[in-house]
Structure 1
Amino acid sequence: MSTPLVLAVSGPPGSGKSTLCRALSDHFGAPVLAYDAYEAITAWPPERVAAWLAEGAPFDAVPLPGFAEDLARLRRGEPVPDRERGGTLRLSRRGARPVIVLDTLLGRAHPGTGAEIDHLVWLDLPLDVALARKLRSFTTEARRDPSAAPGFLGALDAYLGRYDTLLHPVYALQRERVRPAADQVLGAGTLADHLAAVRSGIPSTHAAVPTTA
């Protein structure tokens, strides 16, 4: 089997990374390795996040236990646990070159996984629009399960309470450090538009044959 193509998608929370990654996964028959299944920084208390920002927000200090190791194992063709959905992630045997989809906030700026990325897509959504989409995710879940609405309201209040002083500065740094290294920058468009753009944007030297299923 040829060396897998690592296709990464980055962008601010709410930009549609996960949705595009799932579409790419379906198209290429590829496993998705998701940052959110490994990150531990959201468990930090606000004062620790503030101290990290004051130190210059070094991305190598962002705790992602097992993320780089699982990517390395997948690249070697070994199965890894699906820490996001349960089960096991494996490379597809279909196509001329297998693909790994990396759903990551840090792109090539993460020391542990950035050097392994072959093609990086940045979803260039303004932070106010990304915020609106993130808030919509809270309200959608609350409407889906009204009995859980108080819990979602608490989570929403905590999110907004941290946004000005902690979250917005982090997202601004993410754009400053991750976007310049992207191979493709995609703006407004539908999921179908973005999927087509990524498919056509992968250089022939990185060509991967999609699944026909």
Structure 2
Amino acid sequence: MTRTVVSVSGPPGAGKSTLVQALAGAMGGVVVEYDDYEVITSWPPDKVIAWLDAGAPLENAIAPGLHEALMAKTGLVFLETPFGRACPQTGGLITTSIWLECPNDVALARKIASLAALNVENKGFAAFMSGWLHAYEAFTRRALAVQRERVKPKADLCIGAEAGANDVLSRVILSLKKA
């Protein structure tokens, strides 16, 4: 059987996970999320900074098992990934690549809101959030610039993600049906 892989990329908080889940629900197909395989977010800050200083080689941003997970799927597959076609591990498997354009401040606000919603009862959340925001200043902003520079130009479709999730979903479905 064949597979059609539609990747959805964008900065954290752009709505990648929300969109791939909605697309799978509306169009059928399965979802594969990069976050289920990636290891870079477990790296200490000094290792992330060294990776950025070395030019952010994407072949070092490994996600063990992701390629195999995609190869095991057939039919319509929606891949949530920060790297789209720029990912050496999975870029060649992507049929259509979508970039969700979202200003960093909007993406950051969305990410903070989603983290806060998950941690309402967590008394250590303030300390966690303080560390997360420090990381944003220390290296995440740089990583987002690298992501936009390398991933966005390889996208087949660039959609503004500031609109509501239903509007983004409708525009993507319309574009996929035209393709």
TM-score, normalising length from structure 2? 0.93
- For the pair 1:26 / 2:3, whether they are aligned, the reply is no
Q: Equivalent residue for 2:89?
A: 112
- For the pair 1:191 / 2:168, whether they are aligned, the reply is no
When the two chains are superposed, the root-mean-square deviation of aligned CA atoms in Å is 1.4
Secondary structure of the residue aligned to 1:100 is strand
Using the TM superposition, give the Cα deviation of residue 123 of structure 1 relative to its aligned residue in structure 2, in angstroms: 0.7
Give the residue type in structure 2 aligned to 1:10. Answer: S
1:40-80 deviation per Cα after TM superposition (whole angstroms, max 9, x unaligned): 01111111111111110001100200001111121xx4xxx
**Residues of 2 paired with 1:120 and 1:49: CA distance?**
26
Using the TM superposition, give the Cα deviation of residue 140 of structure 1 relative to its aligned residue in structure 2, in angstroms: 2.0
- For the pair 1:68 / 2:41, whether they are aligned, the reply is no
**Residues of 1 paired with 2:41 and 2:17: CA distance?**
18
Mapping of residues 157-168 of structure 1, within 5 Å: 157-168=130-141
Q: Equivalent residue for 2:36?
A: 37
1:3-59 deviation per Cα after TM superposition (whole angstroms, max 9, x unaligned): 221111000000111001100111122111001000101111111111111110001
**Stretches of 4+ moved more than 3 A in 1?**
none
Note the residue ranges of structure 1 that are not aligned, 5 or more in a row: 78-97, 207-213
Give the residue type in structure 2 aligned to 1:178. Answer: V
**Residues of 1 paired with 2:34 and 2:48: CA distance?**
18
**Residues of 2 paired with 1:202 and 1:196: CA distance?**
10
Q: Equivalent residue for 2:147?
A: 174
Give the residue type in structure 2 aligned to 1:104. Answer: T
Using the TM superposition, give the Cα deviation of residue 139 of structure 1 relative to its aligned residue in structure 2, in angstroms: 2.2
Q: Equivalent residue for 1:59?
A: 58
**Residues of 1 paired with 2:115 and 2:78: CA distance?**
26
Identical-residue share of aligned pairs (%): 42
Using the TM superposition, give the Cα deviation of residue 203 of structure 1 relative to its aligned residue in structure 2, in angstroms: 5.9
**Residues of 2 paired with 1:177 and 1:192: CA distance?**
27
**Residues of 1 paired with 2:78 and 2:125: CA distance?**
30
Note the residue ranges of structure 2 that are not aligned, 5 or more in a row: none
**Residues of 2 paired with 1:189 and 1:47: CA distance?**
35
The structure number with the bigger radius of gyration is 1
**Residues of 2 paired with 1:164 and 1:127: CA distance?**
12
1:183-210 deviation per Cα after TM superposition (whole angstroms, max 9, x unaligned): 1111132222212211221265x6xxxx
TM-score, normalising length from structure 1? 0.79
